[in-house]
């Protein structure tokens, strides 16, 4: 309704001005001509909405809108001109970030499942399972890049027998929290290196050899877990790292 308001105001003002001019005109001789021009002006004012309706063609409006948009976008990027290249690189970045996030999430899920499986199958307490996933590039053009497990870290909690002999596993957590540094902080992690010095990388039996090199105390346990993971998750043994945590929580 604001346009009507404006239009009415304009009409009234122009009519007032025209009357005023008519009053202060010096002579009769000019009167007809002046009146013609003034009436044309009033007519133009009355027609203003219709003229506006026809004057702004859609193309002009569109171009004006585009200009405003451009202005806004340049303001948004602090005066830098946004090019197609920039937009594409931003999209690439966002895609990459999304992919990493989804891989991380999937890794956490897989780790949860592995932990459950290990606890169910071997009965040993598992502190933490870390799974790192990575995208394997597609071998064929029509194939999409698929995620695969690159490494699995299994951190075992110390066995109850090591600390206080045979005891209930449910009691174990509570007693372990109370017992502060019961033994010297010796690293007892079982680490399976990807490539062992002395063993040839092309050797097919590397995995078996490595699994025999674990420390004797928890070797059987680690071997069991490793075997389980290999069977269930179709992993190479050099992708699996098994560590045991001490009673005071130090790895």
Partner 1 sequence: MEIIQVVGLGLISTIIILIIKEQKPMFAFLIAASTSILIFLFLIGKIGSVINELEKMAESAGVQMIYLKTILKIIGIAYIAEFGSQIVRDAGQESIASKIELAGKVLIMVLAIPIIGIIIETVMKLLPA
Q: Which of 25, 106, 134, 163 binds partner 1 (CB under 8 A)?
A: 25
Q: Which residue stretch of 27-35, 78-86, 151-159, 228-236 sits at the interface with partner 1 (rule: CB under 8 A)?
A: 27-35
The H-assigned helical ranges of the chain are 2-24, 31-55, 58-76, 84-122, 160-164, 169-178, 206-212, 219-233
Residue 206 sits in the site that holds partner 1 (CB under 8 A): no
Q: Which of 36, 64, 87, 91 binds partner 1 (CB under 8 A)?
A: 36
Total count of residues recorded for the chain: 251
Residue 57 sits in the site that holds partner 1 (CB under 8 A): no
CA dist., res. 101 & res. 161, Å (int):
40
Q: Which of 1, 3, 4, 43 binds partner 1 (CB under 8 A)?
A: 43
Is the Cβ–Cβ distance between 243 and 156 less than 8 Å? yes
Q: Which of 1, 3, 4, 20 binds partner 1 (CB under 8 A)?
A: 20
Of 149, 176, 151, 162, nearest to 218 (Cα)?
A: 162
Strands of 240-244's sheet in order across: 126-136, 146-156, 240-244
Residue 37 sits in the site that holds partner 1 (CB under 8 A): yes
Chain contacts with partner 1 (rule: CB under 8 A): 6, 9-10, 12-14, 17-18, 20-21, 24-27, 29-30, 33-34, 36-38, 40-41, 43-45, 47, 50-51, 54
């Amino acid at each position: 309704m604001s346009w009507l308001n404006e239009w009415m105001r304009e009409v009234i003002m122009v009519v007032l001005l025209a009357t005023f001019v008519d009053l202060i005109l010096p002579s009769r001789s000019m009167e007809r001509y002046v009146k013609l021009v003034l009436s044309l002006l009033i007519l133009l004012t009355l027609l203003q909405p219709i003229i506006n309706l026809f004057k702004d063609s859609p193309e002009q409006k569109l171009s004006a809108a585009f200009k405003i948009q451009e202005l806004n976008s340049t303001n948004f990027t602090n005066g830098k001109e946004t090019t197609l290249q920039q937009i594409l690189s931003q999209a690439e970045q966002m895609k990459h970030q999304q992919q990493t996030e989804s891989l991380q999430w999937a890794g956490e899920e897989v780790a949860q499942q592995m932990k459950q499986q290990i606890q169910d199958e071997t009965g040993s307490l598992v502190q933490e399972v870390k799974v790192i996933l990575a995208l394997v590039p597609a071998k064929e053009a029509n194939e999409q890049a698929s995620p695969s497990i690159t490494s699995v870290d299994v951190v075992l909690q110390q066995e109850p027998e090591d600390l206080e002999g045979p005891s209930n596993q449910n009691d174990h957590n509570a007693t372990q929290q109370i017992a502060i540094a019961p033994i010297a902080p010796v690293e007892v992690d079982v680490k399976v290196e990807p490539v062992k010095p002395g063993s040839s990388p092309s050797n097919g039996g590397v995995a078996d050899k490595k699994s025999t090199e674990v420390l004797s105390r928890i070797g059987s346990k680690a071997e069991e877990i490793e075997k389980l993971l290999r069977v269930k998750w179709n992993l190479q043994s050099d992708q699996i790292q098994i560590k045991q945590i001490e009673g005071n929580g130090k790895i």
